Structure 1
């Protein structure tokens, strides 16, 4: 199993698109800090850092694209047959691809965290990332940045599972990427609709789009950004709900992948 994951990682890592995504993450992590500071778009470096520059959605997009093609590319290029003749089950093959995509999500998150940290220290003046943010918020920007990164990692795992599910359902890479990115971009719109419906039907608070607010829910209630809406779920409840949806999409993906006919690939 380890050799399979290692093989999948090297295949993914040496894709030109993956290297571009890594480079763009580093550029945005440093460059956006410079722009926000020089153009005074953000006056507080601590605020910039604990939000990781507000560009976590960028690496979410990268991961959706990578995860959407990780299965579909095997069918569109006909390489799935070479995988299946190896001494691994289809369950192991799909799981190795999911693990590989999540490893890339972790690496991109670490890269964004480090470049945002470096960019904050370089381009913002008088920033203390380990001190309490304010007299009423007794938590540091560094602590909140870890919360943001952790919550976004769980979100990325959710997006990976949706993308793999879509990818396992289509032979075309273009369709897989198109559906995957559509889910990502439409989630904010559907989330807004669900927020309105939750006011009337409280049971809808468990819908998957409400759980996408987990990054806001892990912030202290005294921060204005996290107190604009009532999500009707606590951070632990959102984590549990996300994990349930992740497991559901994983099981569906395995069922579809195990039943796929590769004779036409």
Structure 2
């Protein structure tokens, strides 16, 4: 175990001693700051002092539509009723729903986890392939550590880098939200309507962590896939290119093939678990959260097995 710890430390040194890594971190912080600034600018530009009147008029419009319109389906009616309840709650408790608080910025920053994924995929795709590109793979293999331990150390170090980027993304958004939205809004509640038609309050941090949690699932899967691809190529540029290609076109490909029942077995059709959150819909109607989790678990095991076989059985004599 101590040798694995030393190997992980060695891989971390390879990651954090490169200027590219710190440029990535600064780029992520800048992206969070830019997103937060745009949100604040949009809020100040569209802020309306007559928000109470607007909510009242919105309720009147929806109530009239529910009473007179014959074209509304059940889903639209449920959405209108829910929004009426929320608007009424806002008016009664003097809450401006358009005013951004600290957790609004943190909640929105979850969208930037795709950037965290891309940056980590670049590192993951380079972890093994770069050893062949630089010619250092033979130096690693002549040591006492087994190939399995070497691969495990590289994978652990890569996940550690992903965790660091996630923490930086969350902390940066929290700081930006506190500066722009006020740290006093940290207790701002999240409102939702339960099955009984009652508006209930919950902490915003739960909602934000839930979004981050779902995004972490896709992050781990894409990183593991990139790690497998890195094991297959001797060129780091090829490994990075293929990893990013699969990541960027995967969801689009699944959407294009959504009319076919077999598309539910593709990795990209199951990787976004946020589709099973309240208000979301899966790619196929027969898909469930349990099914997607089982599919992801199967893909994860396959990726790990293939990466292990490619790395441990590869001939490096040439």
Name the TM tier (shorter chain): 0.7 to 0.9
What is the CA-CA distance between 1:129 and the residue it aligns to? 4.6
Q: Which moved more, 1:231-240 or 1:62-71?
A: 231-240
- Could you give the per-residue CA deviations for residues 201-228 of structure 1, whole angstroms, max 9, x where no partner exists? 2x543421111221343x3x14xxx358
**Map of 1:90 onto structure 2:** 147
Assess, with a 3 A threshold, how the Cα gap between structure 1 residues 125 and 231 changes in structure 2: closer, same or farther.
farther
Residue 99 of structure 1 is matched in structure 2 by: 156
Task: Report the counterpart of residue 181 of structure 2 in structure 1.
Answer: 124
Superposition RMSD in Å? 2.4
Q: Distance in 1 between matches of 2:289 and 2:108?
A: 17
CA 1:228 to 1:79, structure 2 compared with 1: closer, same or farther past 3 Å? closer
5+ residue gaps, structure 2, are 47-97, 194-199
Partner secondary structure for residue 55 of structure 1: helix
**Match runs of 1:136-147 below 5 Å:** 136=193, 138-147=201-210
Within the candidate set 170, 176, 187, 2:233 is matched to: 170
Of 240-249 and 6-15, more deviation after overlay is shown by: 240-249
Whether 1:9 and 2:66 are equivalent positions in the alignment is: no
In structure 2, relative to structure 1, the CA distance for the partners of 1:247 and 1:139 (3 Å cut) is: farther
Change (3 A) 1:135 1:59: closer
Deviates further, 93-102 or 185-194: 185-194
Q: Which runs of 5+ in 1 are unaligned?
A: none
Distance 1:171 1:118, change over 3 A: same
CA distance in 2, matches of 1:241, 1:53: 24
Retained in 1: the 8 A contact 2:251–2:269? Answer: no
Q: For the Cα contact (< 8 Å) 2:110–2:211, is it kept in 1?
A: no
> 1:31, 1:119 within 8 Å by CA — same for their partners in 2?
no
Give the alignment partner of residue 122 of structure 2, picking from 62, 65, 68. 65
Deviation at 1:247, TM superposition (A): 1.3
For 1:212, the equivalent position in structure 2 comes to: 271
Which structure has the higher relative contact order (CA within 8 Å, separation 6+)?
A: 1
Q: In the TM superposition, what is the alpha-carbon distance from 1:73 to its structure 2 partner?
A: 0.3
The one-character-per-residue Cα deviations of 1:134-166 (angstroms, maximum 9, x if unpaired) are 242643321121112222222111111111111
Partner of 1:243: 297
Q: Alpha carbons of 1:83 and 1:150: their partners in 2 closer, same or farther (altered >3 Å)? A: same
Residue 39 of structure 1: which of 18, 42, 56 is its match? 42
Task: Tell me which moved more, 52-61 or 164-173.
Answer: 52-61
User: 1:60-87, CA deviations, whole angstroms, 9 ceiling, x for partnerless residues?
Assistant: 1101101000110000000111110111
> Does the aligned pair in 2 maintain the 1:195–1:231 contact within 8 Å?
no
Per the alignment, in what secondary structure is the counterpart of residue 189 of structure 2? coil
| TM-score when normalising by structure 1 | 0.86
Does residue 261 (structure 1) correspond to residue 315 (structure 2)? The answer is yes
CA contact (8 A) 1:30 1:118 kept: no
